[in-house]
């Protein structure tokens, strides 16, 4: 796996695919700068070598239309502040004007190109557009894990124009290394904690990881499909009735492979889907009609904690309750605390996938686990065992 450490960028122009798809408020202030901060080490390494950096990214979904509210010009000042070097901006990303701006770039300078998705050719993976981008650098660096599952011009197709002169940035390398640790090289016992509302959205992940884990903890809304399939009463809890047979098959397959599956035994049930609902503890398989399970109960959390603390490698994907509501956030916080403790004791812990990442950030566990993935969809596809086009293009 080639990374930027395999190159000296002195007097070279690095064309870097970053993921600056950041949230903006009504005044175009960036409300979460994590993605820009994550790209900084790669950019700094190139500048310190004596090279210059040409940054390309998308922002939002303009679908080939030039839109001021999605222009990357809104990011230049904040990016300058974070990187510690003035980030120049140009309102083009291909063509003569862009090529001239890159040619004028001196060692130690950074240029940010305009939103790639102002050109519909980007998402189509257009060859001519990719070739146009390739003229803007001597070495291609992909550091955008969040878009690695898309076969777009800037993430995949452009790489073929660089021959051997292509590599992963530090962020991409760390993402690949973390997933490999969980899926292939992790010290045993390996535990996967899967939450979220639907079995259907996690089925390919479950099928792919059963060969790789020793323990599978299932929480969140998909619990109730498993419980109902086993004959339990789940009241008004969320359930995919058409996935009950699938749930039973997963349990059988896990047993055949020697994987211990841990389901909740008790829950916090509520009489309404509301933070102010009346709540009570209930066995997971005896939830009364009119009530629904919205968080893991204390006995469940104690059981889960024991499993987590004996684990050496941990994957967490999905919350175990409706953590967005304070009343039902305790289970997800408790899982985070258990993972924090296991990590302190030497376990490797990877958190990935939208909601679990949001929960980790919300409750302050970000620096207390080994790694928090930056790519939602890309992370999930990796866990499903798919080869991501953005990764394959560099390894090719």
Strands 313-317 and 348-351: parallel
Q: Which residues are annotated as a binding site for (2R)-3-phosphoglycerate?
A: 35, 117, 150
Q: Which residues are annotated as a binding site for ATP?
A: 202, 293, 324, 353-356
- Of the residues 73, 198, 305, 361, which is catalytic? 198
- Token digits for 230? 């086993």
Active site residue 258: no
Taking the C-alpha atoms of residue 292 and residue 305, their distance in angstroms, rounded to an integer, is 24
CB 136 within 8 A of CB 99: yes
Q: Nearest-CA neighbor of 182 among 202, 205, 209, 203?
A: 209
Q: Which residues are annotated as a binding site for substrate?
A: 19-21, 35, 58-61, 117, 150
Taking the C-alpha atoms of residue 369 and residue 348, their distance in angstroms, rounded to an integer, is 8
Strands, E assignment, the chain: 13-17, 52-56, 87-89, 110-112, 139-142, 166-168, 190-194, 215-218, 233-234, 260-262, 266-270, 279-283, 286-287, 292-296, 313-317, 348-351, 371-372
Q: Using a CB cutoff of 8 Å and minimum separation of 24, what contacts does 223-229 make? A: 223/263, 223/264, 223/267, 223/284, 223/293, 224/293, 225/199, 226/199, 226/250, 226/251, 226/263, 227/263, 227/284, 227/285
Active site residue 137: no
Taking the C-alpha atoms of residue 336 and residue 366, their distance in angstroms, rounded to an integer, is 10
- Dihedral of alpha carbons 152, 62, 109, 176, sign: negative
- Of the residues 361, 377, 385, 386, which is catalytic? 377
- Of the residues 17, 35, 45, 228, which is catalytic? 35
- What's phi and psi for 394, nearest 5 deg? -80, -35
The secondary structure of 79-146 as a DSSP string is HHHHHTS-EEE-S-SSSHHHHHHHHTPPTT-EEEPPPGGGSHHHHHT-HHHHHHHHTT-SEEEE--GG
Active site residue 17: no
- Of the residues 108, 232, 354, 385, which is catalytic? 354
Query: Side-chain half-sphere of 224: how many Cα atoms within 13 Å?
Result: 27
Neighbours of 130 (CB within 10 A): 22
Active site residue 35: yes
Neighbours of 181 (CB within 10 A): 18
Residues that are catalytic? 35, 198, 354, 377
């Amino acid at each position: 796996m080639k990374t930027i450490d395999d190159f000296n960028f002195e007097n070279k122009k690095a064309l870097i695919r970053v993921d600056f798809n950041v949230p903006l408020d009504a005044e175009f202030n960036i409300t979460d700068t994590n993605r820009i901060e994550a790209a900084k080490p790669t950019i700094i390494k190139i500048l310190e070598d004596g090279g210059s950096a040409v940054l390309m990214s998308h922002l939002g979904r303009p679908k080939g239309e030039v839109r001021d509210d999605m222009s990357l010009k809104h990011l230049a000042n904040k990016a300058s502040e974070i990187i510690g070097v003035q980030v120049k901006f140009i309102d083009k990303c291909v063509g003569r004007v862009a090529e001239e701006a890159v040619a004028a770039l001196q060692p130690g300078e950074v240029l940010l190109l305009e939103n790639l998705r102002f050109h519909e050719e980007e998402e189509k993976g257009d060859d001519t557009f990719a070739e146009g981008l390739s003229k803007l650098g001597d070495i291609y660096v992909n550091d955008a894990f969040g878009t690695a599952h898309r076969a777009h011009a800037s993430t995949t197709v452009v790489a073929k124009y660089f021959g051997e002169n292509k590599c992963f940035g530090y962020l991409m390398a760390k993402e690949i290394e973390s997933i490999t640790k969980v899926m292939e090289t992790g010290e045993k016992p390996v535990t996967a904690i899967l939450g979220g509302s639907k079995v259907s959205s996690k089925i390919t992940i479950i099928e792919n990881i059963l060969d790789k884990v020793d323990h599978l903890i299932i929480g969140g809304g998909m619990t109730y499909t498993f419980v109902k399939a086993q004959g339990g009463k789940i009241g008004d809890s969320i359930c995919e009735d058409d996935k009950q047979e699938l749930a039973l098959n997963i349990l059988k397959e896990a047993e055949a492979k020697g994987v211990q599956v841990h389901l909740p035994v008790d829950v916090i049930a509520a009489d309404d889907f509301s933070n102010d609902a009346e709540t009570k503890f209930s066995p997971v398989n005896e939830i009364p009609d009119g009530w629904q399970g919205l968080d893991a109960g204390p006995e469940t959390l104690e059981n889960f904690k024991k499993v987590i603390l004996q684990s050496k490698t941990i994957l967490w994907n999905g919350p175990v309750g409706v953590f967005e509501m304070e009343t039902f956030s305790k289970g997800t916080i408790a899982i985070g605390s258990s993972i924090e403790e296991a990590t302190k004791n030497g376990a490797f812990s990877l958190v990935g996938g939208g909601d679990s990442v949001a929960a980790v950030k919300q409750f302050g566990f970000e620096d207390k686990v080994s790694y928090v993935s930056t790519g939602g969809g890309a992370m999930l596809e990796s866990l499903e065992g798919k080869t991501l086009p953005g990764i394959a293009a560099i390894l090719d």
